[in-house]
Structure 1
Amino acid sequence: MIGTLLRRDLAALLPGGRAGGSLLPLLFFLAVAMLYPFAVGPEPELLAQTGGGIVWVAALLASILPLEKLVTSDLESGVFDQLYLRGVSEELAMTSRLIAHWLAFAPLLIVAAFPAAALLNLDGPTLHVLLLGLLAGTPGLAAIGLAIGALTAAIRGGAALAGLMVIPLAVPILIFGAGALSDPDGSGLFLTAAISLGLVAVTPFVAGAAIRASREG
Structure 2
Amino acid sequence: MIAHLIARDAMRGLRAAGLPVAFFLIAATLFPFAVGPDARLLAKAGGGMLWLAALLAALLPIERLVAPDADAGILDQYAARGISDEAIALAKIVAHWLSFGPPLMIAALPGAALLGLDAPTLGRLEAGLAIGTPALAALGVTVAALTAGLRGAGALAGLMLLPLAVPLLIFGAGALAADGGQAFKLLGATALLLTAGAPFAAGAALTALRD
Asked if these proteins are the same fold (TM beyond 0.5), I'd say: yes
Equivalent in the alignment of 2:47: 52
Deviation at 1:14, TM superposition (A): 1.5
One-letter amino acid of the counterpart of residue 9, structure 2:
D
Q: Are 2:103 and 1:111 aligned?
A: no
2:61 counterpart of 1:66? yes
Residues 174 and 180 in structure 2, CA contact (< 8 A), matched pair in contact too: no
Q: CA RMSD in A?
A: 1.0
CA distance in 1, matches of 2:177, 2:116: 15
Q: Deviations over 1:145-173 (max 9, x none)?
A: 11111000021211110011111110000
> In the alignment, which of 124, 130, 148 is matched to residue 125 of structure 2?
130
Residues 90-101 of structure 1 aligned to structure 2 (within 5 Å): 90-101=85-96
5+ residue gaps, structure 1, are 16-20
Alignment-derived partner of residue 2 in structure 1? 2
Give SS of 2:149's match.
Answer: coil
2:46·2:115 contact (CA, 8 Å) conserved in 1? Answer: yes
Which aligned runs of 4 or more in structure 1 are off by greater than 3 angstroms?
none
Partner residue of 2:24? 29
| Uncovered stretches (5+) of structure 2, i.e. residues with no partner | none
**Counterpart contact for 2:62–2:144, Cα < 8 Å:** yes
What's the CA shift for 1:185? 5.0
What CA distance in whole angstroms lies between the structure 2 residues aligned with 1:12 and 1:111?
A: 19
In percent, how many aligned pairs have the same letter? 53
Q: CA deviation at 1:13?
A: 1.5
**CA shift at 1:11, angstroms?**
2.4
- 1:162 maps onto 2:157 in alignment: yes
Count of residues in Structure 1 that have an aligned counterpart in Structure 2: 211
The range that moved more, 183-192 or 62-71, is 183-192
Q: Pick which of 144-153 and 182-191 moved more.
A: 182-191
TM-score (norm 1): 0.94
